[in-house]
Amino acid sequence: MNTPEKEIKGLRRKAKSWLAMLTFYCALGQTQLDVLSQRLMSLYKPVVRPKILQRVIKNTLCQVTSQKETPGLKKRLMSRRASKRIEGRVFSFPQMLDGKTLARSKQNTCTLGRLVSSWAVLTDQAPKDFIVRVYPSINRLYRNWRTGTSCRGFSDGDCLSHPKEFAEFMSGFYRTLVQETPEENLERLMQQGISALGSAIETGDLNNTIYELCGQASYLMTADTVRKIESALKINPSARDRINIPEFKALVLWEETKLGWSENRNKASEILKESLDSELEEADTAKDDIIRSSMESIGRRSLLSNLQDALNGKLRPRFIESIRRLLGNIYQHMASTWEFDTSALIKENIDSIRRWLFRR
């Protein structure tokens, strides 16, 4: 029986395979976001279950309350609010926003003052005192935003038009809130938040909500990853040719079959056999068995590692070496027997030669 730890460990390997496949299809120019995001979602769906989430939350809560985990909490929170990270999220906003979302956001506008007050309440601080402490820093950040963008507010259009400036403002804003909050209040906030999440999972049926959110996250993650890979391939176009080789294509199809995403096992074998036909001339009738064994041997490594070998020009030589080793094993176990017919004539000749050799 698989434990949650084993399931998550297996998920890591599958996610790496998904990333390698995504890179391959980007190199081919065949990025079907719907299909690829559904594949990613199919990996997480068996793991993101209330039972596993409850266990993860319990373990996380134990770590947060541990004396070893609490020191440096404020520093870690601030380091994770870097402007580069926030800017990456800003680029995802257009994919998340639709007409209904924009309509709701106009009805439920939120001011900076309300955000500051809400943070103070969440962290058990007096709102008026907290606003006084953070006002100078936030005022300076706002002046920089207004000077750099000529924007008075933070509408969706303003933020999307100036993602870098907006990321710098929000990074400074988050850091200010964290910096002016005592560390023990931050620790208590994390404990309360994690406990509340655990209670919600135990008492409510959140399966549909969790799966819906995971589906949206999978699509955004896929779209963002495709954008980054295509940008990298544009900078290094020769990488496309090194990735788009029959050996790696065969491994991709083989891995898709293992993960249950297609039934292309036979096609994978055919592609590899055609590519390595010159290396299989000595195999005769054992070609299919050698191809299958070679595919299984190379496929034991992660698809991401094999992608790295393809980029370095090492994947095809590894297949050739594997095939030669398999052929060598076959010949090593072959036994040859030489038989000669003995006739009366040959026996008479042998006797004559023997008499001549030992004549006196």
Total-model pTM: 0.67
Q: Is 340 left (phi over 0), alpha (psi -120 to 50) or beta?
A: beta
pLDDT digits (tens, 9 = 90+) for 109-148: 678 889 999 999 999 999 999 999 999 999 999 999 999 9
pLDDT for residue 105 is more than 70: no
Q: How far apart are CA 81 and CA 172, in angstroms?
A: 8
Residues 145, 151 contacting (CB under 8 angstroms)? yes
pLDDT for the residue numbered 99: 43
pLDDT for residue 84 is more than 80: no
Using pLDDT thresholds of 50, 70 and 90, give the confidence band for residue 332: low
Higher pLDDT, 283 or 237: 237
Percentage above 90 pLDDT, the chain: 34
For 219-234, give one letter per residue: b (16+ CB within 10 A) or e. bbbbbebbeebeeebe
Mean of pLDDT values over 273-281: 81
pLDDT digits (tens, 9 = 90+) for 288-313: 888 888 899 998 899 999 999 999 99
pLDDT for the residue numbered 187: 85
Mean of pLDDT values over 88-95: 63
Which two tokens mark 270?
A: 């055919």
Instruction: For tokens 């993960």, name the residue.
Output: 259
Q: Is 252 left (phi over 0), alpha (psi -120 to 50) or beta?
A: alpha
Q: How far apart are CA 105 and CA 141, in angstroms?
A: 23
DSSP character string of 286-316: GHHHHHHHHHHHHHTS-HHHHHHHHHTT-HH
Residues 182, 136 contacting (CB under 8 angstroms)? no
pLDDT for the residue numbered 251: 95
Tell me the domain boundaries of the chain: 1-69+205-237, 72-187, 245-332
Higher pLDDT, 5 or 241: 241
